[in-house]
């Protein structure tokens, strides 16, 4: 099975996470913990995407595309919960809704996804990236 290198996504994470400085230390600590969990899951999430079990939807979240084992469902749900929380924090700093932040991240994920990964276009159409 092909695996994706975390290095491929570091520029995306750096851009997303460093848009503006944190304004509260508690929020910053929460945000750093969220970022670390996302980074820690990259290899596992990539394996699900390359297996065609989940795809990147147009909201910046993972979406189930095939049957998942219970542990895979747990992984997808944990990733989505952290993504939502991060989009909310970034949105608060930028004066945007978490929906807008997620849609922006979805665009980046569409561009940077590996060939064969399911991606959803802004209009809702699904395709495998070529």
Rounded CA gap, 128 and 130, in Å? 6
Mean pLDDT computed over 7-23: 51
Cα–Cα distances in angstroms (integers) from residue 87 to residues 3, 69, 102, in the given order: 26, 27, 6
Q: Give the length of the chain.
A: 130
Quick: pLDDT tens for 35-56. Answer: 999 999 999 999 999 999 999 9
pLDDT-based confidence at residue 25 (cuts at 50, 70, 90): low
**Position with higher pLDDT, 101 vs 13:** 101
Rounded CA gap, 25 and 39, in Å? 21
Q: What is the pLDDT of residue 15?
A: 53
Query: What does residue 104 show for φ and ψ, rounded to 5 degrees?
Result: -65, -40
Most confident stretch, 4-13, 23-32, 109-118: 109-118
Q: What is the pLDDT of residue 16?
A: 54
Average pLDDT of every residue of the chain: 87
Please report the sign of the dihedral spanned by the C-alpha atoms of residue 7, residue 12, residue 16, residue 19: positive
């Amino acid at each position: 099975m092909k695996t994706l290198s975390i290095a491929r996504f570091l520029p995306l994470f750096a851009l997303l996470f460093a848009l503006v400085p944190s304004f509260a230390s508690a929020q910053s600590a929460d945000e750093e913990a969220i970022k670390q969990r996302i980074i820690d899951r990259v290899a596992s999430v990539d394996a699900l995407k390359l297996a065609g079990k989940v795809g990147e939807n147009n909201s910046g979240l993972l979406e189930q595309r095939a049957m998942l084992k219970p542990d895979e469902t747990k992984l997808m749900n944990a990733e989505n919960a952290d993504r939502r929380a991060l989009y909310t924090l970034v949105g608060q700093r930028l004066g945007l809704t978490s929906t807008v932040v997620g849609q922006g991240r979805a665009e980046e994920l569409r561009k940077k996804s590996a060939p064969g990964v399911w991606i959803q276009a802004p209009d809702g159409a699904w395709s495998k990236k070529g």
